[in-house]
Amino acid sequence: MEQYQKLLIAVDIEHDASDIIAKAMRLKGPQSEVRLITVITPLTDALYANGLGLVPPLIDVVKLEEESRQRAKEKLRELAGDQVAEDACDVLVGQTVDSVVDDAEDWNADVIVLGSHGKSGLKLLLGSTASGVLHHAKCDTLMVRI
């Protein structure tokens, strides 16, 4: 199996990602760099998606989003264990597919490794996130069935 120099591992911290990380580690060589990311939805998008409409003025959206990002970073570090350096773990805020693809391009990743749900039909088989990344990424993409 080919050893990649720059591996971007994208995980959903709400699900067990240990298999994804373990399989990605098999692709790396001794000089490889590994970056582990997760993407969280902007709080304003989440509020609108839940039908809450306008954000109440008492809510400090920036503070809540930063707290959400910190919690996500802690979970990501937990998942990384000793396999990925702490400074190589990052939480992105945005739309998942765009964020993963853009981060891979900005970082010049050789491969993106992410999980995929096995259902039926292409989008259902891969999941809409996995399908979107697969179709838009300019580098190799490895889907790990979860």
Give the list of residues 6+ apart from residue 117 with CB closer than 8 angstroms, or none.
124, 125, 126, 127, 130, 145, 146
Which domain range does residue 84 map to? 4-145
Min mean pLDDT across 1-15, 35-49, 86-100, 113-127 is at 113-127
* Predicted TM-score of the model (pTM): 0.84
pLDDT given for residue 146 in this prediction: 80
CA distance 123 to 142: 16
Over the stretch 34-81, which tens digit does the pLDDT of each residue have? 999 999 988 766 555 555 555 554 467 778 888 999 999 999 999 999
Total domains in the fold of the chain:
1
Select from 121, 113, 100 the least CA-distant residue to 145. Answer: 113
Which CATH number fits the domain that encloses residue 57?
3.40.50.620
pLDDT given for residue 57 in this prediction: 47
Across all residues in the chain, what is the average pLDDT? 85
Work out the average pLDDT over 118-136: 68
pLDDT given for residue 120 in this prediction: 45
pLDDT given for residue 59 in this prediction: 62
pLDDT band at 145 (very low <50, low <70, confident <90, very high): confident
Work out the average pLDDT over 5-18: 93
